[in-house]
Amino acid sequence: MGKKLFIETYGCQMNVADSEVVVAILQKQNYEITDSMEAADLILVNTCSIRENAEQRVRARLAVFRKYKEKRPEIKIGVIGCMAERLKEQLLREEKSIDLVAGPDAYRTLPGLLDEVESGLKGVNTLLSIEETYADINPVRLDKNHVSAFVSIMRGCDNFCTYCVVPFTRGRERSRNPETIIDETKVLFRQGYREVTLLGQNVNSYSWKANGEDLTFDSLLDRVAEIDPGLRVRFATSHPKDMSDNLLITMSRHPNICRSIHLPVQSGSSKILLRMNRKYDRDGYMDRIRAIRNYLSEATVSTDIIAGFPGETEEDHHQTLSLMKWAQFDFAFMFRYSERPGTVAEKRFPDDVPDEVKTRRLNEIIALQNRLSLQSKKSDIGKVYEVLVEGASKKSDDYFFGRTSQNKVVVFPKGLNRPGDYIHVYIEDCTSATLLGKQVHEPIDFSKSFKYRSAKQIPNE
Ligand code: 5AD
Ligand code: SF4
């Protein structure tokens, strides 16, 4: 009889991909995944440290597990991921119910750590590596629909943005062997997956040196896109400082590379960007947006914004708002600055924007983005988009949801479709979060009112 593993994942897409690697490693040790905490022999929490409230959520969850362990003392609890890396043994001192702590580069050692736990010890490994990419491990997919999968192409980050804890919790940047990326993606396609998202903290600096050649991100993307025109390719996250024209040209050559770019700006003020160590200024960012519009006129752009970074004045804040309006972001993740221990910002810049000011600025940013997002969706009404069907809509069993190449969610009546199908949807309406439409089958007259975008029909766009 195998043991049962219950795994919960917090934070970014990278953590989701890492949990799939962890399950693969533990499956070899006879662990079987379960959806029920009650059935579990081992609970693993894959954690995030990016902001203080991310850590607080995990702490609250650990309190629930602690209570549960009082009833079932034989159950083992492990904390993995960025919080494990950041807090190390401190976690074991503070949370007595924890048996195991493993950082993002230590997952291969989980079987040995679990043996230690079985023998009554605590298992701890938070060593970071300069080469671990888990390249040879076939992740066990934990997604529900079997349409869209994450493929990790690199790990770590060397950018040291002054607010960010990631370079400390995930260590140095390293790229994964491209052959293993291509093989993994081919297998996914054969299994019926129709979309992959290539993941890395900063995918634009992907680099694989072999036989005197340096394979860069645009060449890798080219190779992945060529696997099959019926496979959609996305990637995240791009850093504006090294988003090259070459990458945009590569995208424009492959209709199946999705027309959606996540390009975190963080602030619209050059002064703040310098303090953040982002290595571009307002003009540099605007230049990249112009390049996107130039090569990929139909692409949507999403971003990340931090409100209330140390030293941010009302004028800096207004520059953020004005840049948002100029760039017309289609979507954004927006955060209040959260001081992270050990970062340059914590050491050098006092967290001097008062809480209520941070909150007010964040609210203004959110209100503006809500308007921009709605505007972006409204502009799709009356157009036909190719949609990849993903699964049942949350709201009704009679509806499916899927996504456009531009990464907008579309809800439509199920018809005879199945997840993984490509269909064409005429957009009739929208809410603030989704497009609403109906499937169209009839031939489409390009000269009529709507714009038509297809992954297959417009080669060499
Ligand atoms: N405070 C607030 N937001 C942060 N991010 C990273 N570090 C912090 C922090 N200390 C945001 C950035 C980044 C996203 C993943 O999280 O916007 O792009
Ligand atoms: Fe953090 Fe900057 Fe690296 Fe992103 S690029 S993970 S924000 S240090």
Residue pLDDT, tens place only, 190-232: 999 999 999 999 999 999 998 888 999 999 999 999 999 999 9
Quickly state the pLDDT bin for 452 (edges 50, 70, 90).
very low
Answer whether residue 445 shows pLDDT above 80: no
Answer whether residue 450 shows pLDDT above 60: no
**In sequence order, what are the beta bridge partners of 266?**
305
Distance 26 CA to ligand 2 centre (A): 30
Nearest to 178 by CA among 203, 195, 148: 203
Average pLDDT, the chain: 94
Ligand minimally distant from the alpha carbon of residue 305: 1
Average pLDDT over residues 244-253: 97
Answer whether residue 91 shows pLDDT above 90: yes
Answer whether residue 458 shows pLDDT above 80: no
Distance 164 CA to ligand 1 centre (A): 6
Count Cβ atoms below 10 Å from residue 211 Cβ, excluding itself. Answer: 5
Phi (first) and psi of residue 211, to 5 degrees: 50, 45
How far apart, in whole angstroms, are the C-alpha atoms of residue 67 and residue 6?
16
Quickly state the pLDDT bin for 233 (edges 50, 70, 90).
very high
Ligand minimally distant from the alpha carbon of residue 242: 2
Quickly state the pLDDT bin for 354 (edges 50, 70, 90).
very high
Answer whether residue 460 shows pLDDT above 80: no
Class of domain 148-374: alpha beta
**Token pair listed for 460:** 């060499």
Which tens digit of pLDDT belongs to each residue from 371-385?
999 999 999 999 999
Q: From the options 3.40.120.10, 3.90.420.10, 1.20.1250.20, 3.40.50.12160, give the CATH code of 3-125.
A: 3.40.50.12160
pLDDT value at residue 395: 82
Pocket probe for ligand 2: among 82, 154, 166, the residue whose CB has the most ligand atoms within 8 Å is: 166
Pocket probe for ligand 1: among 306, 337, 358, the residue whose CB has the most ligand atoms within 8 Å is: 306
How far apart, in whole angstroms, are the C-alpha atoms of residue 195 and residue 20?
17
pLDDT value at residue 211: 87
Answer whether residue 259 shows pLDDT above 50: yes
Atom in ligand 1 nearest the alpha carbon of residue 343: 10
The residue contributing the CA closest to ligand 2 atom 1 is 164
Delimit the domains of the chain by residue range: 3-125, 148-374, 384-448
How far apart, in whole angstroms, are the C-alpha atoms of residue 216 and residue 203?
9
Atom in ligand 1 nearest the alpha carbon of residue 237: 18
Average pLDDT over residues 4-9: 98
Q: Is 270 strand, coil or helix?
A: helix
Q: Is 240 in the pocket of ligand 1 (CB under 6 A)?
A: no
- pTM as predicted: 0.94
Nearest to 418 by CA among 444, 442, 390: 390
Q: How far is CA 175 from CA 82, 96, 154, 155, in A?
A: 19, 37, 4, 7
- Which CATH superfamily is 384-448 part of? Nucleic acid-binding proteins (2.40.50.140)
Pocket of ligand 2 (CB under 6 A): 157, 159-161, 164, 166-167, 201-202, 239
Quickly state the pLDDT bin for 443 (edges 50, 70, 90).
low
Atom in ligand 1 nearest the alpha carbon of residue 345: 10
Pocket probe for ligand 2: among 15, 82, 157, the residue whose CB has the most ligand atoms within 8 Å is: 157
pLDDT value at residue 447: 45
Average pLDDT over residues 94-101: 95
